[in-house]
Amino acid sequence: MADKPQPTYLKDYVPYPFEVERLDLEFDLEPHHTRVLSRARYKRKEHVDVEEPLRLNGAGQTLLSLSLDGTPLTALDYRCQDSGLVLPNVPNAFELTVVTEIDPEANKALEGLYLSSGNFCTQCEAQGFRRITYFPDRPDVMTRYTTTIRADKQRFPVLLSNGNLVEQCDLDDGRHLTRWEDPFFKPSYLFALVAGDLVCQEDAFTTMSGREVLLQIYVEARNADKCDHAMLSLKKAMAWDEQRFGFEYDLDRFMIVAVDDFNMGAMENKGLNVFNSKYVLARPETATDDDFLNIESVVGHEYFHNWTGNRITCRDWFQLSLKEGLTVFRDQEFSADMNSAAVKRIEEVRILQSHQFAEDSGPMAHPVRPESYVEINNFYTMTVYSKGAELIRMMQTLLGRDGFMAGIRLYVQRHDGQAVTTDDFVAAMEDASGVDLDQFRRWYSQAGTPVIHVEQHYDGERQQLTLDVTQSCPATPGQPDKQPFHIPLRLALLGPDGTPQPLHLVNESGQQGAEELVLSVTAARQKFCFEQVGEGCVVSLLRDFSAPVKLTMNTSRDELAFLMAHDNDAFNRWNASQRLAGGLLLDLVDRVRKGQKLILEPMFVEAFRTSLLDEQTDPSLLALALALPLESFLAEQMEEIDPQAIFTAREFVRHEVAVQLKDDFLTVYRRCADSGPYEVTPQAVGQRRLKNLCLGYLAALAPQDNMIWQMILEQFSTGRNMTDVSAALGLLADHDNRDSRHALDTFYATWKEDPLVVEKWLGIQARSRREDCLEQVERLMGTPAFNLHNPNKVRSLIGVFCQGNSVRFHAADGSGYDFLRRQVALIDPFNPQIAARLVAPLLRWPRYDDTRSALMKQALEQLQAKTTLSADLYEMVSKGLDQNKKG
């Protein structure tokens, strides 16, 4: 591109030289010509040079006027520089009034103020506020906001902003006005405005101090019947946050608005959360079990930000995990308490292992606290969010629940109302607990996934078990060498009957005889010796996934089968099943590549049958344990990824298990059928998960097995909830026949007016195993069901195909790569955030065979050759190309 974007570095951080004592905003809303007046009171900080100019950020707006203390400024009084304004020679204290005009209708980047379905909406994180007015748009500039909104009352009867409503009235010209005051200091990224023709569902919540808070969810009228679950989730989250953390809500009202056009999942703007509609709207006919659970989680997440993100925010964007990692941990704990803790933990780890570990081994690998970025939007990543949450969880493991909560209390006491760093958070944990976390801080500054290798040696004569533990971490961009991490390794020993054994660690005085210990692995190599260990004990290691590491250990398949059947740690039971299945699958992948005959070991089938027929275990846990390892997880285990071989091996296992266990699958499927009212309880969700897992295996026999095919058709046509209907439709969509086409057409005809259900329909077809899947995706792009300007539609069709359909995306002829290149090039000019996220699969090119890697690299080179790449996409493409083919 013409001007190469320059990186921003953490080491260059300098505090903003001015305080902003208050900010008054006035909006006169019109779709194409919105006028914004901002009046800010600035004060130079002590010890700041009087020669220091005032620097303001700004983009995508027309400057109408600028005045200082009431005196109009001319072009000679300021200069445009680096997408903003610079005002030299300003006094130590002054009021600056800026009047700008913006065009929300034309804003397809969905940053700043834009229109969604005819309603005004904002998205200011990370740097969208600068598209609204000229202002120091950085998280460490915090002030109190007053927002006045004027708009046509008939077109925009609802006018919302942050804080408390202090005035509303009708104006003479058919317009009306509302004024909002937020009494709490906040940065510009937490500003929000919504205006439109919306309906409201109201409720109330009484806080632990006895204050009544008004709760409001605003949606379009057609969605008024889909808010109950989100409202219930909000009330649960508010009560849980008081009980678990002692955090009470602080405003008179809490508002949620659902919009269809949104780049993210949701946004925690103070008192006015703006949500992607998929994380608010639900009823059983239109939403799956996962939708219901995700809504509960995301509503909780955004509400929990009120204290961990809003009251205390991040000093700079390098500290993003300060708020996101901590709040993800909090929403995980909330979901665990509301549902099944074991299921929730396994689901978190599945995502981490299949997606974040891949991020750690790719060109965009970065520490939880990055050292630099070209475009901050590219760092809203699994590393910052999910791995960041694991760092919080590890601190709770190392400090204990009481020590961790003492650290949280000290953190809030010290920093309420401030913009701080991850170091400030860790310091509060240290000071409250007395535990030295200096080495632990490396988790924030070093990228990559550590590898823990454990060799176990048993001395039967002495009854001693020695674990020889080594840790290492692969090189990542800019970090060729890593220092040892502080890794909490949770451990137990199981006797021959599965009973946890007392642990006696040599040279360790505390916790002798406990059934579980947390070992602190702090050196590149350490040995841990246990005494009084009887014959036949099996080590259960990394229990509850106590650290985000890859574990390798000389564990036999018989021992994995034992852990799968007997481990009292639910995560490790699941992990044993995945390691057992993963090892067998990788062996089969190798046989596929060598052209050898595929054989499924009887031991695996028998272990599978035993678990399948277990009526005592949580059915959700069974469904997770019996699901084959994800293709993306298997790919991470390979030096050179072969997507076709992975697909072939998985399909072989799926078919063979279905053939040998057909009657067992039918028995469990019928046992799990439900006839009562739809409920989102752990038991009901688990039964549907297990039932649909059975149907998914049985579908490997269809359509040749007509009985099974008719079962799938019957579930599709008679299913009483979207969970069952969409599961059946997904199995039908794998085939091209009259029944499948009729089902897909019927489903669309029924739900074509519901955008969220249409997105499910698009995703089902994008994930199809059909060999002509790409042709179907391109056909769907030309139908009214798709809209390239709507992020949800793009993610549902293009995103699912390129990131969720590995075998078809990675077609050997490179057609999938060329398709993705073309779509990214189309989207980048109007929505760089979405384009940059879509391109990610191509960045993995060095991991594939020569033919595929050359085609993937070529697609990136063609994108790089464009002269108008956004900074977002430029960073991804350039880092993707700055790699060498491995091997």
The answer to whether 302 is a known catalytic residue is yes
Residues 387 and 536 sit within 8 Å (Cβ to Cβ):
no
- Over range 859-865, report the average pLDDT: 96
Residue 427 has pLDDT above 80, yes or no: yes
| Assigned fold of 198-311 | Zincin-like (3.30.2010)
- Over range 687-713, report the average pLDDT: 98
The reply to whether domains 1-197 and 451-474+481-547 share a CATH topology is: yes
Please spell the DSSP secondary structure of 237-304, one letter per residue. Answer: HHHHHHHHH-----SSEEEEEEES--SSSEE--TTEEEEEGGGT---TTT--HHHHHHHHHHHHHHHH
**Band of pLDDT at residue 519, cut at 50, 70 and 90:** very high
Task: Give the right CATH number for 451-474+481-547 from 3.40.50.10490, 3.10.20.30, 2.60.40.1840, 2.40.160.40.
Answer: 2.60.40.1840
- Residue 539 token pair: 């080590």
The pTM of this model reads 0.97
Query: Measuring CA to CA, how many Å separate 370 from each of 351, 385, 472, 547, 599?
Result: 21, 13, 20, 20, 46
Task: Dump pLDDT digits (tens) for 747-801.
Answer: 999 999 999 999 999 999 999 999 999 999 999 999 999 999 999 999 999 999 9
Cis peptide before 500 (omega within 30 of 0): no
Catalytic pick among 302, 324, 430, 559: 302
Mention every residue, 6+ apart, whose C-beta is less than 8 A from residue 790.
260, 261, 755
Task: Dump pLDDT digits (tens) for 252-293.
Answer: 999 999 999 999 999 999 999 999 999 999 999 999 999 999
- Over range 321-325, report the average pLDDT: 98
Which carries the bigger pLDDT value, residue 508 or residue 284?
284
Task: Find tokens 């379009």 and name the residue.
Answer: 220
- Over range 367-371, report the average pLDDT: 97
Please spell the DSSP secondary structure of 473-489, one letter per residue. Answer: ---BTTB-S-PPP-EEE
Q: What is the mean pLDDT of the chain?
A: 96
SS3 content of the chain, % helix, strand, coil (to 5): 45, 20, 35
Report how far residue 731's alpha carbon sits from residue 499's, in angstroms, rounded to the nearest whole number: 41
Within 13 Å of residue 668, how many CA atoms lie on the same side as its CB? 30
Task: Dump pLDDT digits (tens) for 585-640.
Answer: 999 999 999 999 999 999 899 989 999 999 999 999 999 999 999 999 999 999 99
Report how far residue 725's alpha carbon sits from residue 745's, in angstroms, rounded to the nearest whole number: 14
Residue 770 has φ and ψ, to the nearest 5°, of -60, 140
Report how far residue 148's alpha carbon sits from residue 177's, in angstroms, rounded to the nearest whole number: 7
Q: What is the pLDDT of residue 886?
A: 66
**Band of pLDDT at residue 509, cut at 50, 70 and 90:** low
CA dihedral 428, 432, 437, 440 (to 10 degrees): -60
Report how far residue 789's alpha carbon sits from residue 614's, in angstroms, rounded to the nearest whole number: 48
Q: What is the pLDDT of residue 866?
A: 85
Residues 410 and 428 sit within 8 Å (Cβ to Cβ):
yes
Which amino acid would we find at residue 177? L
Handedness of CA 847, 848, 853, 855 (dihedral sign): negative
Q: Could you tell me the strand order of the sheet in which 550-553 lies?
A: 504-505, 525-531, 464-472, 451-459, 550-553
Identify the weakest region by mean pLDDT among 248-262, 384-398, 442-456, 603-617. Answer: 603-617
Nearest-CA neighbor of 615 among 551, 672, 689? 672
Task: Give the right CATH number for 313-445 from 3.30.360.10, 1.10.940.10, 3.30.1490.20, 1.10.390.10.
Answer: 1.10.390.10
Task: Give the right CATH number for 570-881 from 1.10.1370.40, 3.40.50.720, 1.25.50.10, 3.10.20.30.
Answer: 1.25.50.10
Q: What is the pLDDT of residue 674?
A: 84
Element containing residue 84 per DSSP (H, E) = strand 84-87
Within 13 Å of residue 411, how many CA atoms lie on the same side as its CB? 30
Q: What is the pLDDT of residue 511?
A: 67
Residues 261 and 110 sit within 8 Å (Cβ to Cβ):
yes
Q: What is the pLDDT of residue 205?
A: 98
Domain made up of 1-197: CATH architecture: Sandwich (2.60)
Report how far residue 887's alpha carbon sits from residue 880's, in angstroms, rounded to the nearest whole number: 17
Q: What is the pLDDT of residue 741?
A: 98
- Over range 134-161, report the average pLDDT: 98
Q: What is the pLDDT of residue 1?
A: 46
- Over range 147-161, report the average pLDDT: 98
Nearest-CA neighbor of 502 among 465, 554, 468? 465
- Over range 121-148, report the average pLDDT: 98
- Rg value, the chain, Cα: 28
Domain ranges of the chain: 1-197, 198-311, 313-445, 451-474+481-547, 570-881
Task: Dump pLDDT digits (tens) for 207-234.
Answer: 999 999 999 999 999 999 999 999 999 9
Please spell the DSSP secondary structure of 377-415, one letter per residue. Answer: GGG-SHIIIIIHHHHHHHHHHHHHHHHHHHHHHHHHHHH
Residue 676 has pLDDT above 90, yes or no: no
Question: With pLDDT > 90 as the criterion, what percentage of the chain qualifies?
Answer: 95
Task: Find tokens 């005592």 and name the residue.
Answer: 616
**Band of pLDDT at residue 887, cut at 50, 70 and 90:** low
Q: What is the pLDDT of residue 468?
A: 97
- Burial (CB < 10 A; 0-12, 13-18, 19+), residue 719, is middle
Residue 201 has φ and ψ, to the nearest 5°, of -100, 130
Distance of CA 724 to the CA centre of its chain: 25
Element containing residue 561 per DSSP (H, E) = helix 557-566
